[in-house]
Amino acid sequence: MSKHVKTDRDGRVLSILIDRPDKKNALTHEMYAAIADGLERAHDDDQIRCVILTGAGDSFTAGNDLGDFAAGLPEGKPPVVRFLEAIVACDKPLLAAVNGPAVGVGLTLLLHSDLVYASEQATFRSPFPHLGVVPEAGSSLLLPMAVGNAWANDIFIAGRVLTAQEALSAGLVSRVFPAASFMEECRKIASIVAAQAPNAMRETKRLIRSNRAAVMERMAKEGAIFNAQLKSPEFMLAASAYMQRRLPEFD
Ligand code: COA
């Protein structure tokens, strides 16, 4: 449960709304757990045939809450790991409706979404080394596969911010809609998807996502390096520079 994640069932479509607009929908531990709950519910409920994930207000999500990063991981399995496992395992089509900035995990989670649509106001950024960390969520494997090395390196290494049209050219998203009709268009497509043959849809998704073992293996590898970096002076320096709204100066 999280007051910052709302789920809503409309027929066979489950919508998960990331709802923390004052913090640009940055994801806390509690929010990862609540999104994982929604994805697990969709996986388990045969009557749910499509999931929409979107953000409230003007952002999709600004990624992991930077305060949570600095505070360290809670005891037991980190909620972010549960979230990533749930997004990889979910056998129902997941439609990411990117309504605004998608930063960090906000971008990398798109690589686990089956349909990725952008409002023309969406932007995309994952400057991990600029923040003293490394790509996560299997993205060091999946992003180059999705968009090719040139775009992946522009995003991860140069820290480039992509517009919706650039994300379309890169192949990170497949359609861009005007902001005014964006959610309506996404809901229309979700209801078409939800009306398809459920077994064929589940098997189609399984075939397309047949590299799950390799993705999980890469995630574990990335996670170990990411967590070590979170404890490093590089991350401390980058995070405090972000909070003070200046660029970090690394030695
Ligand atoms: N964690 C915690 N708080 C965040 C956040 C994050 N990841 N991203 C934004 N916020 C907070 C800001 O600190 C600010 O809080 P305040 O009003 O209390 O000062 C509020 O959200 C608004 O953010 P701001 O940067 O002023 O909004 P903007 O419209 O100028 O820019 C973004 C929006 C999303 C482009 C920008 O906030 C951003 O790039 N954030 C991403 C941070 C990041 O590096 N995330 C990657 C984590 S791996």
Q: Is residue 118 part of a domain?
A: yes
Question: CA 95, CA 76: separation in Å to the nearest integer?
Answer: 30
Contacts for 201-210: CB closer than 8 Å, 24+ residues apart: 201/49, 201/92, 201/93, 202/91, 202/92, 205/91, 205/92, 205/93, 205/114, 206/91, 208/114, 209/88
Asked if 117 contacts 95 with a C-beta cutoff of 8 angstroms, the reply is yes
Q: Does residue 133 sit within a domain?
A: yes
Ligand 1 pocket member 65 (CB < 6 A): yes
Q: Is residue 66 part of a domain?
A: yes
Q: How many domains does the chain have?
A: 1
Which three-class secondary structure state does DSSP give residue 58? coil
59 lines ligand 1 (CB under 6 A): yes
pLDDT of 42 over the 90 cut = yes
Confidence bin at 23 (pLDDT 50/70/90)? very high
pLDDT-based confidence at residue 13 (cuts at 50, 70, 90): very high
CATH number of the structural domain spanning residue 77: 3.90.226.10
Ligand 1 centroid from CA 65, angstroms: 9
pTM of the predicted protein model = 0.96
Asked if residue 232 belongs to a domain, the reply is: no
pLDDT score at 4: 97
Q: Is 218 in the pocket of ligand 1 (CB under 6 A)?
A: no
Residue-wise pLDDT tens digits, 181-220: 999 999 999 999 999 999 999 999 999 999 999 999 999 9
Residue among 24, 80, 234 whose CB has most ligand 1 atoms within 8 A, to mutate? 24
Write down the pLDDT at residue 216.
96
Distance 98 CA to ligand 1 centre (A): 16
* DSSP string over 172-208: S-SEEE-GGGHHHHHHHHHHHHHTS-HHHHHHHHHHH
Query: What percent of the chain stands above pLDDT 90?
Result: 92
Distance 62 CA to ligand 1 centre (A): 6
Asked if the structure places residue 36 within a domain, the reply is yes
- As a whole number of angstroms, the distance between CA 143 and CA 137 comes to 10
- 14 part of a folded domain: yes
Residue 76's domain comprises 5-179
**pLDDT per residue as tens digits for the range 121-170:** 999 999 899 999 999 999 999 999 999 999 999 999 999 999 999 999 99
Residue 70 has pLDDT above 80, yes or no: no
